[in-house]
Amino acid sequence: MAGWWYHGTAPQVAATVEILPGTTLEADEETVKSILATFEKAEEALTARDIDGIMAIYSRDYNYHGLSKSDMRRIWESLFANHRDLSTTHLFSRIVVTGPRSAPIAEVVCNGALFARSDITVQKTAIDSWYGESHYLAKEDGTWRIRGNSGERARALQFGTAPHPLF
């Protein structure tokens, strides 16, 4: 997607949760819709500045390279304290659901960004962006929730990569 990575001010765009053409889908239509609903709920919570709504999309056992759900709450509280007009873009290129029906896990490969307007500069900028990042979700209490990375905590991230724990 040309122009995807931004330098400086981000464009004034509405939130996007989209399945790209040619996306690998290894899940039924109902499951795909419910996974998309998780990201749409996150966007609604961002717009409303609803920290509890944001936290509801994270799994009880969330762990992303050592960051816990309580760590995520502190990060989001800081973002809300220093920014406004938060929005995201999630462009999915792969959705694969594995595991038993009683405890399925979804891997959602995504290109995306988190945008916000700084209270200091008043400009809307990209707070975070990611390319080919895997979001791992688990089904808890009938709802898909973000669980973190795929497994064991890496000793160090691969050169040129950065963690993207927000989603």
| 163 domain residue, yes or no | no
Any idea what the CATH number is for the domain that residue 64 is in?
A: 3.10.450.50
**Tally of CB atoms within 10 A around 108:** 27
Domain count of the chain? 1
| 4 domain residue, yes or no | no
pLDDT in tens, 40-73: 999 999 999 999 999 999 999 998 888 899 999 9
| 160 domain residue, yes or no | no
Q: What pLDDT was estimated at residue 144?
A: 97
Specify the pTM: 0.81
Q: What is the mean pLDDT of the chain?
A: 83
| 57 domain residue, yes or no | yes
| 27 domain residue, yes or no | yes
| 153 domain residue, yes or no | no
| 5 domain residue, yes or no | no
Pick the residue with more confidence: 70 or 11?
Answer: 70
Residue range(s) defining the domain that contains residue 22: 16-148
